Chain A
Amino acid sequence: MRTKIGILLAGTATVCATGAAHAQTAAQNTTAGTTVSNTASVTYSVNGTAQTTNSTTASFVVDRKVNLTVIYDQPAATQVNLGQTAAYTRYKVTNTTNGTQDFLVNAFQSGIVGGLLTGTDDFNLTNFKVFVDTNGDGVYDPAVDTRTYIDELAPDNSVEVFIVGDVPATGTINQADVALQVIAATGGTANTQGAALVATDLSLGNADNTVDVVFADGDSDGIGVDIIRNGQGWAYGSYVIATRNVALTVNKTALILSDGVNALNPKALPGAVVEYCMIANNATLTASANSVTITDPVPANTTYVPGSLAIGLPGGTCTLLPTITAPFTGSYDTPNNRIIANLGTVIGGGIVAVSFKVTIN
């Protein structure tokens, strides 16, 4: 029973009590585990004697409101080449929980629902892994970014996660779709992977003065892979084969070095030494040309100068050095009267010079 005896004070309530919390970021949220206590101080008088007292103290512990966002943090699909290793897609994970959390990360590349991404998934990456951007530079560094879980992410902080894999060298492939799953986990211990959080049972008898886990995350994909309030976030990305050919050109020139008569301006006389120069250039900056071989027959009525084949950086009259520089190999093919220059891989934008000398018969 309650007897209402309080009389309204002068002045009417002017505050509308419908306001919910203002839009807040997690950092402004009260940290999980904080105890909120309330005590009122009271003054009163009995028979004219002033007295004071305090109310009892009511308190509760702020529970953990688990939330996170996971986004595909790049403007378009990652462009890859056949046979490329350590190709990565980038994702950003933001902790919007009112506490520091670990997050578990898992990468998937099969069973991804179509329609989320444009194009059709027709190949899988090999050596498929997921790493956290430990040094925070937004670029996958194989030597540095080796952590496979997110460690101690403070409220409102973000970290990049990379899905990394090797592209097969199969010629017909076009696109690989991948998915990143992020699961909120227990934080609090640095350099230790926490266990995945489990929401506290709502019907638990005594949840007073303990930090309950309440999942407050949304459905990040709307297709049923992620569901609301499961403590997980998902994001999807893809790799597409960008280049199937490169603009590889070889430009050949001839230079008469000496004719035994004219020192200043040698002519193409019999006995003159002529240097042939071939400049190989890969003009496709984004892709390497592999297994590049140049074969050049020694022209009729000329004789190859033994040991004159040089392969390397361009410079001087053709090659900077008069020798075959590593990693290139090459030789004079005596039976077929031709030179063979193995340039191996010419990277995007790379230039390699090949020169050899002949004498005019």
Chain B
Amino acid sequence: MHLPMPALLLASVIATPALAAGPLQVTAKVLTEQKTRAADGSVRVALVPARRVVPGDRVIFVLGYRNTGSQPIGNIVLDNPVPAAIAYRGPSQSSAAPDVSVDGKTYGPLATLRVRTADGATRAAGPDDVTNVRWRLANAVPGGAQGQLSFQAVLK
């Protein structure tokens, strides 16, 4: 399924202005799927700012970053704690896959993570266990460049 990504990248409709005045600006957005039925009966799924979200709905958290300075920025690490009412599902199709964490300390692919159960044993971690999502950008971001990272989740 192709999700058309409208040109909303810089439109911070529901975001509050960033406080930091550094060269790297990071804008957070939450999008949700809006299904519309066309005249021919087909259903189109568009991503719209999250205005109407009820439990069970798919939401997409988007981080847009932009180097507003002239110097390249390196070693960028974006750490996004997953909000309490949100269950992580996976990276968006158009986004680099993040490392995830189930404890906020150890990051890695989900398949490598384990969680401790009540009886002291451990089990393989699932998407519901994810507490933090982290992207580490390997390449420096030149002045004026920008990009976008996102992950999919579900409202619990």
Contacts and interface: CB of A to CB of B under 8 A. Distances in A.
Interface of A: 2-9, 11-17, 19-22, 24, 28-30, 34, 36-47, 50-65, 98, 200, 202, 207-208, 212, 214, 216
Nearest to A8: B96
Given A2-B148, A63-B52, 5 more contacts: A9-B99, A21-B55, A43-B76, A57-B15, A212-B51
B109 A12 contact: yes
B19 A46 contact: no
Interface in B126-154: 127-128, 135-139, 141-142, 145-149, 152, 154
A40 B28 contact: yes
A34 B55 CA distance: 11
Contacts of B146: 2-3
B26 A16 contact: no
Contacts of B96: 6-9
- A interface majority secondary structure: loop
B41 interface: no
Q: Which 10 A-B pairs have the closest CB atoms?
A: A17-B90, A13-B97, A65-B54, A29-B55, A55-B26, A53-B20, A15-B90, A58-B28, A30-B85, A40-B80
Nearest to A3: B145
A302 B78 CA distance: 113
A15 B130 CA distance: 11
A207 B50 CA distance: 10
A54 B51 contact: no
B45 interface: no
A15 to B, nearest CB: 4
B48 to A, nearest CB: 11
A204 to B, nearest CB: 9
A107 to B, nearest CB: 30
Given A5-B145, A16-B90, A36 B75 contact: no
Nearest to A14: B111
B25 to A, nearest CB: 8
Contact of A7 (B53, B138, B148): B138
Contacts of A17: 89-93, 152
26 contacts: A2-B148, A4-B147, A6-B137, A6-B149, A13-B97, A19-B154, A20-B56, A21-B55, A39-B80, A40-B26, A40-B81, A41-B79, A43-B77, A44-B77, A45-B75, A55-B26, A55-B78, A56-B12, A58-B14, A58-B28, A60-B14, A63-B52, A65-B56, A98-B54, A208-B49, A214-B52
B121 interface: no
B17 interface: yes
Contacts of B80: 38-41, 55
B81 to A, nearest CB: 8
A297 B92 CA distance: 97
Contact of B61 (A19, A50, A58, A212): A58
Contacts of A57: 15-16, 28
Given A15-B90, A55-B78, A5 B141 contact: yes
Interface string B1-31: 0000000010010111111101111111110
A202 B59 CA distance: 18
A15 B77 contact: no
B77 A208 contact: no
A9 B93 CA distance: 15
A36 B86 contact: yes
Contacts of A19: 89-90, 127, 154
Pick from B74, B83, B108, B138 the residue with the most CB of A within 10 Å: B83
A40 B30 contact: no
Contacts of B141: 5
A15 B91 contact: yes
B54 A55 contact: no
